A and B are shown apart, each in its own frame.
Chain A
Amino acid sequence: MSTTAQRSALSAPVPGIASALVWGAGQLINRQAGKAAFFFVFFAGAIGWEVSSGNYYAGMEFTARSNGGFFVKGLWGLFTLGSQPRQMTINGLTEGDNSIVLMANGLIALLTLALLAVMWIWSIRDAVRYRARLNAGGERERSRDYFRQLWDGAFAYIVLSPGLVLIVFMSVLPVLFGILVAFTDYNRDNLPPKNLVNWVGLDNFATILSVPAWTGTFFGVLVWTFVWAIFATASTYAFGFLQAVLLSSRRVRFPRVWRSIFLLPWAVPAIVSALVFRSMFNGQFGPISQFLVDIGLTEERIYWFTDPSMPNVARGVALLINLWLGFPFFMALIGGVLTNIPATYYEAARIDGAGPVHQLRYITLPVVHRTVAPLLILAFVSNFNNFGVIYFLTEGGPDNADYRFAGSTDLLITWLFKLTLDNRLYNIGAVMSLVIFVIVGTISVWNLNRSKAIREL
């Protein structure tokens, strides 16, 4: 009886505060030794890691740079990006700080800390709740039962963990890193380990929006990217629709043969087709220019993708080639939808006196459109980021003297590629990545809101 009185005397937050200070302490107060040990191991592990990876000596002056362990030095590096550049001394080159390595380590430390914070909150909440339950007259629970229950519930986490680890290190970490680089001066003039990289706030965004050469390129490329995405999607859809409808006609002999032929551009790897077209439309040696000269249509060879005086020809040809590449997919898809439209629809329409055009307009089109609409948005997004066609076909050409590091057919994504890889302007490239993400993300979120996917989550 006296123990019950003692227990209820202890208010719930007390073990919580204890656990907040030393993990597991609250559980120990609650007399759950196993659980206490579990949390304490993480606590001790984190501190042990920090101490063993750093240089902690008693009585020595402490600086984060030279004494900090995994967490302290990591965070220090993330905030300062290093303080000592590589220098020439009488002993040769000193080892300076590599800002990018520091930044990445800092991010890893931060992610680990975030995971530990989850554990920390869990331990506090567990201590408080358990005590509150005891105070309310609940049964005692042994640590072992708790863990067995946890183990049964943890099946999902165990199975998910390999995928999770891969995604965190290969996707989440790089995405965070990419976002951070947009706020630094990491570019070809400022490469570690020779130089230190600095935080520059919003300077890169300001550069793109205020330096005329950058602004002109950015908006020029942005507008063309939208034009490209809209026309590429619309043309492939329309032509795919047309071919599917024609093929579904009962008059067509050997429809399967035709269908297989038309599917070829979809089945052949796009990189191969695009490179083949690049050669065919080669100005100097390509057969198309030659053919046009031979039949007397043009006096000189046409430099389709390299003549700066006619960027719109290059753009138009690129769209046509994209049509060649893209229509079969829509044709196959719409062909599948067409076979599923009940024949009774058309019979009823015929009895009502509707001609083929009306049937197409009021039956085929709405049915197909309803099924294919979500795919259109997906196709728009993938065309928006259609690196393959543009880069393999034109490499962004023809040159545009008004643009910085971009040609007339460059999309945002190919421009980004050139900025990063050819010109090593990592910071500007990171800004462009963010811009692309915001655009694509907005479209995707809008699309998702309309679909049922979110509600079904």
Chain B
Amino acid sequence: MNHQQRAPQRRDRIVERQRRRNLLATVFLHLELAVVAVIVVFPLLWVVGASLGPGGGLASATPIPTDASFDNYVHLFTETDYGRWYLNSLYVAVLNMIGSVLLAALCGYVFARVRFRGRKAGMLSILILQMFPTFLTAIAVYMLFLNFGLLDSLTGLALVSIAAALPYNIWLMKGYTDNLPASLDEAAAIDGAGRLLIFRRIMLPLMRPMLTFVAITQFTMPWMDFILPRLLLQSPDKQTVALGLFQMITDQYQNDFTSFAAGAVVLAVPITILYIVLQRYLVTGAAAGAEKG
């Protein structure tokens, strides 16, 4: 009798202890997550706070300003060339995106589906070219443009950007297209569809996920790229956002930090939203690139 009573009691105690240990683990788990979250969020909160706070120097910036206002944003668009830089970046970004998607889709399709002489050599050269850091070509392009007087052109910058990313993008699209079922386009070819028609009607829709990846990366790249525009652009009205922000923070450090903060927020918010919304494409796209190259 006594014995029988004690057994459930002991079981209760064990369960209780396990429950407590679980609870402790859960608490620690959330504590860790919270600490990391604070570290992650604080710098971002700080810059947003600085952009809303009273205008001026770095020392007065706080994460949560007492008298929040949009003065810094008004200042940014009226007193500095930020609007101009933004339009410049937009122009380069759109051109870069359209050019890259178009060329990567066409070339990737051809390399994956058409057997032609020189295909292997072509793929191999593309592979070697994409190993060259963009940067190395950029410096040579700078020296060439300098001597031929081609510097300071936004279209030129977009063309160089397209070319610099093209080998990698072709490689990516080719790898993706390789894995698409060949039966669809073979059937269309038997029905007498031309290659261009097959490409447009059948392949292009199938290639869409990876094309989305190329489009996003190539659209966002010019906003963040620093080296190429720094090398190829010179006059003040041809700067891009990245260049302008960097100048703001290095030249007028003490007295214009809040304008920088506002500019940083205006640059970061659209791209951040884009990345968070399209994260699935971006992560799988990057992974696919690594597996292929």
A272–B58 touching, CB < 8 Å: no
B267–A287 touching, CB < 8 Å: no
Q: State whether A175 and B147 are in contact (beta carbons under 8 Å apart), knowing that A272-B245, A272-B267, A276-B47 are contacts in the complex.
A: no
B131–A287 touching, CB < 8 Å: no
| Among candidates B25, B120, B136, residue contacting A437 with C-beta atoms closer than 8 Å | B136
B293–A156 touching, CB < 8 Å: no
A374–B170 touching, CB < 8 Å: no
Residues of A within 8 A of B43 (CB): 273, 276-277, 280, 324
- Number of B residues near A (Cβ < 8 Å) is 96
Q: Is the C-beta of A174 less than 8 angstroms from some C-beta in chain B?
A: yes
Residues of A within 8 A of B141 (CB): 170, 174
* A125-133, A248-256, A303-311 - the one binding chain B: A248-256
| Among candidates A166, A249, A263, residue contacting B159 with C-beta atoms closer than 8 Å | A166
Residues of A within 8 A of B260 (CB): 275, 279
Q: Is the C-beta of B144 less than 8 angstroms from some C-beta in chain A?
A: yes
Identify the closest chain B residue to A420 (Cβ).
B139
Q: Is the C-beta of A457 less than 8 angstroms from some C-beta in chain B?
A: yes
5 examples of A-B residue contacts, CB within 8 angstroms: A104-B147, A171-B164, A264-B272, A268-B271, A276-B43
B227–A417 touching, CB < 8 Å: yes
Residues of B within 8 A of A159 (CB): 106-107, 109-110
Report the Cα distance A263→B271, complex, angstroms: 13
B132–A175 touching, CB < 8 Å: yes
Q: Is the C-beta of B207 less than 8 angstroms from some C-beta in chain A?
A: no
Report the Cα distance A260→B41, complex, angstroms: 11
Binary A-proximity of B218-242 (CB < 8 A = 1, otherwise 0): 0010011011001100000000001
B131–A437 touching, CB < 8 Å: yes
The SS class assigned to the A binding surface is helix
Q: Is the C-beta of A162 less than 8 angstroms from some C-beta in chain B?
A: yes
Report the Cα distance A436→B132, complex, angstroms: 9
Residues of B within 8 A of A247 (CB): 33
Binary A-proximity of B128-157 (CB < 8 A = 1, otherwise 0): 110111011101111110011000000000
Q: Is the C-beta of B193 less than 8 angstroms from some C-beta in chain A?
A: no
B164–A374 touching, CB < 8 Å: no
Report the Cα distance A243→B33, complex, angstroms: 8
Residues of B within 8 A of A329 (CB): 283, 286
Residues of B within 8 A of A456 (CB): 178
A261–B106 touching, CB < 8 Å: no
B290–A375 touching, CB < 8 Å: yes
B33–A192 touching, CB < 8 Å: no
Residues of A within 8 A of B159 (CB): 166, 170
A374–B291 touching, CB < 8 Å: yes
Report the Cα distance A101→B289, complex, angstroms: 37
Q: State whether A166 and B103 are in contact (beta carbons under 8 Å apart), knowing that A279-B58, A440-B131 are contacts in the complex.
A: yes
B120–A457 touching, CB < 8 Å: yes
Q: Is the C-beta of A48 less than 8 angstroms from some C-beta in chain B?
A: no
Q: Is the C-beta of B7 less than 8 angstroms from some C-beta in chain A?
A: no
Q: Is the C-beta of A336 less than 8 angstroms from some C-beta in chain B?
A: yes
Within 8 A of B (CB), among A414-457: 416-417, 420-421, 426, 429-430, 433, 436-437, 440-441, 444-445, 448, 451, 453-454, 456-457
| Among candidates B109, B133, B220, residue contacting A385 with C-beta atoms closer than 8 Å | B133
Q: Is the C-beta of A92 less than 8 angstroms from some C-beta in chain B?
A: no
B32–A246 touching, CB < 8 Å: yes
A163–B245 touching, CB < 8 Å: no
Identify the closest chain A residue to B199 (Cβ).
A159
Report the Cα distance A332→B287, complex, angstroms: 11
Q: State whether A271 and B120 are in contact (beta carbons under 8 Å apart), knowing that A192-B147, A263-B279, A282-B58 are contacts in the complex.
A: no
* A33-41, A56-64, A386-394 - the one binding chain B: A386-394
Binary A-proximity of B253-293 (CB < 8 A = 1, otherwise 0): 11001001000100110011111100100011011011111
Report the Cα distance A173→B164, complex, angstroms: 12
B148–A104 touching, CB < 8 Å: yes
| Among candidates A166, A336, A437, residue contacting B284 with C-beta atoms closer than 8 Å | A336
Report the Cα distance A120→B40, complex, angstroms: 62
B18 to chain A, nearest CB (A): 13
Q: Is the C-beta of A219 less than 8 angstroms from some C-beta in chain B?
A: no
Report the Cα distance A279→B49, complex, angstroms: 14
Residues of B within 8 A of A171 (CB): 129, 132, 137, 163-164, 166-167
Within 8 A of A (CB), among B57-87: 57-59, 61
B30–A262 touching, CB < 8 Å: no
Q: Is the C-beta of B189 less than 8 angstroms from some C-beta in chain A?
A: no
Report the Cα distance A279→B220, complex, angstroms: 24
Residues of A within 8 A of B274 (CB): 267
B167–A181 touching, CB < 8 Å: no
**A171-B163, A174-B144 given; 8 more Cβ-contact pairs under 8 Å:** A104-B147, A170-B162, A251-B29, A263-B276, A267-B279, A374-B291, A417-B135, A444-B293
Report the Cα distance A266→B107, complex, angstroms: 30
| Among candidates A163, A186, A374, A441, residue contacting B106 with C-beta atoms closer than 8 Å | A163
